[in-house]
Structure 1
Amino acid sequence: MITIFQEIQVEFEARNMEDSDFHGVRKLLAQLYLKANIDLSELTNTLISQNYIGSVIKDLKCVNEIKSMLLEKCSKCVNKDKLATLLGTEKNAVGVIINERFINIPAQISLPSFQSLWKEVERAKLKKMNYNFSHYVIVSKACRLQVKVQGQNDMRSFLNAEEEYFYQAAEFTCEYSVKGERDSVVSGCWDEDDDEMEPIRVVMVINAKQIDGIMDKLKEVYG
């Protein structure tokens, strides 16, 4: 048997979301939020309707459900009070970044995607639109080693590799296990019979002032 390793060049075309993307977007949201009590159809429709940029959404049922879910899931985290204050104070301008893609789409795509996002945010701010966020919240899919290794801190691996750099720059984080819930996509990070790797969600709170530094790191790694 002869095995041939060949590098294949693939070009991705970026475009705004449209109605035909509903089922794909909803599926991506479902694999992130799993069995959470969130109206994913409403959230999907909102994202599609505000397709000129990532969306600013408030006063919607699905938004309140996301807030309630995060506060409930993180109720035992050491940073639970910080999270509650951030999400519960009306004056705080907090943006939610949803960074999801289908399996086998490489992390390199994250650099132009985030570059485009921040350009759109800046254009919106110049138009006096309400995109002047002080913080961003990202909920990331990850897994962590359940067996403690002597001399090492908790070991975790992000399914979207670029989110490691957001994690490093986070103002604070919270984590919760989703071991009892089945992911709709198996990424190779764990499977249901893996006793060592525990599927988790990592809630990262990023100060907006850290975005430039994160982008510099993404350029260094994926540029």
Structure 2
Amino acid sequence: MAAPAKKREIESKSKDDDMNITDSGSSDDNEEIVNDEEGTKIMVDFVGRIPEDSDFHGIKILLQQLFLKAHINVGALAKYIISRNYVGSVVKQSSDDQDDEEDEDDDDINDVFSVTSVINISHGQNEECVQQLRTLLKDLSSEYATDSVNGLIKNIIENDSAALGLIVNERFVNIPADISVPLLENLIADMKRAVSKKMSYDFQYYILIAKLYKPKTSTKKNAKKGSEEPEIFWSNQEEEVFNENAMCTFEFAVDKESDTGLSGTWAEDDDEMIPYRRVMVFEACQLQPIIDKIKKFISH
């Protein structure tokens, strides 16, 4: 059972129990999201807090859009994240109108807009979902990575003396990248508190699985000509910064699986997009510098 839900400030230096999602460098707690059906933008108030049991279905949906048909029990993984809610956050729509509040049992299963957490996949291998993650990463690396990258990733995964954390950075596609900065900074603060309490969150490496898309025709043309990589569309824009600072990466197409991460109305002459997953490994000491670079990235 998870600890009781509490709102927490998504700021690495704050110890307050109230948590507001704010635009980086701004005091406004509104975020602009796109209504895909109408092509319009609306302002939404978000609130971030620790995951609780009622967030199970929402977290599960977000994990499903990442892992698709992979052999991962996303339900068990969602419960795992909730049971360790002293690390990480979920983002939901803020509701100050008490008259609109409903019983928790009637909560919309899709009301979780984002989940940010970290899973120690070098520790607690007795958990089946953690074992599945380790196996999946090793299998994918063997199939899609170069020999040198595969060797490096397998060594990192199998070396339990150098702890490896899987960062979960999932949200719906129409939520802007600005929201990632306070969430990631809060994650660092949570891990520091956990380490101070002798919990196993002192990582040497992190691994992140990113969702991205490439135009189908461009991919075919470049494959024939051996030209430069086609333009990449990142589902979470800030993950481009992670990619630039990764020590090794590999990717694979998931077009054979159901992927609803990129939605919208497409014109007949629009290029079909092929969904990919890119696995990135980076040293733990790079996480804060990466976040600092993300701040600059989203400000331009």
Band the TM-score falls in, shorter-chain normalisation? 0.7 to 0.9
- Partner in structure 1 of residue 4 of structure 2: none
- Partner in structure 2 of residue 43 of structure 1: 77
User: Where in structure 2 are the equivalents of 1:47-62 lying within 5 Å?
Assistant: 47-53=81-87, 54-57=117-120, 58-59=124-125, 60-62=127-129
What is the percent sequence identity of the aligned residues?
Answer: 38
- Partner in structure 1 of residue 220 of structure 2: 147
Distance across 2 between alignment mates of 1:159 and 1:51? 25
2:204 paired residue among 134, 145, 148 = 134
Change in Cα spacing, 1:152 to 1:185, as seen in structure 2 (3 Å) is: closer
List per-residue Cα deviations over 1:4-43 (Å, max 9, x = no partner). x997543321111111111110011111000011111111
Residue segments in structure 1 that go unaligned for 5+ positions in a row:
none
Distance across 1 between alignment mates of 2:265 and 2:204? 33
- Partner in structure 1 of residue 132 of structure 2: 65
Distance across 2 between alignment mates of 1:168 and 1:66? 24
2:173 paired residue among 80, 103, 118 = 103
Work out the number of aligned pairs and report it. 218
TM-score by length of 2: 0.66
Distance across 2 between alignment mates of 1:196 and 1:77? 25
Residue segments in structure 2 that go unaligned for 5+ positions in a row:
1-38, 88-116
TM-score by length of 1: 0.87
- Partner in structure 2 of residue 172 of structure 1: 248
Change in Cα spacing, 1:160 to 1:217, as seen in structure 2 (3 Å) is: same
- Residue type of the alignment partner of 1:197: M
- Partner in structure 1 of residue 97 of structure 2: none
Change in Cα spacing, 1:188 to 1:107, as seen in structure 2 (3 Å) is: farther
- Partner in structure 2 of residue 212 of structure 1: 288
Distance across 1 between alignment mates of 2:164 and 2:252? 21
Moved more, 209-218 or 106-115: 209-218
Change in Cα spacing, 1:178 to 1:14, as seen in structure 2 (3 Å) is: same
User: Where in structure 2 are the equivalents of 1:188-207 lying within 5 Å?
Assistant: 197-207=273-283
Structure number with higher relative contact order (C-alpha < 8 Å, ≥ 6 residues apart)? 1
Aligned partners of 2:144 and 2:251 also within 8 Å: no
- Partner in structure 2 of residue 86 of structure 1: 156
Distance across 1 between alignment mates of 2:248 and 2:264? 27
Moved more, 162-171 or 48-57: 48-57
Distance across 1 between alignment mates of 2:265 and 2:139? 26
List per-residue Cα deviations over 1:166-222 (Å, max 9, x = no partner). 0000010011111110114334599xxx87532110000011121122111122233
Does 2:53 match 1:19? yes
Aligned partners of 1:17 and 1:51 also within 8 Å: yes
Distance across 2 between alignment mates of 1:6 and 1:101? 19
User: Where in structure 2 are the equivalents of 1:23-34 lying within 5 Å?
Assistant: 23-34=57-68
Aligned partners of 2:213 and 2:233 also within 8 Å: yes
Q: RMSD over aligned Cα, in angstroms?
A: 2.6
Distance across 1 between alignment mates of 2:264 and 2:245? 26
Aligned partners of 2:86 and 2:194 also within 8 Å: no
- Residue type of the alignment partner of 1:134: Q
Distance across 1 between alignment mates of 2:214 and 2:261? 17
Q: Which has the larger radius of gyration?
A: 2
List per-residue Cα deviations over 1:131-172 (Å, max 9, x = no partner). 110000101111134134465234322100010000000010
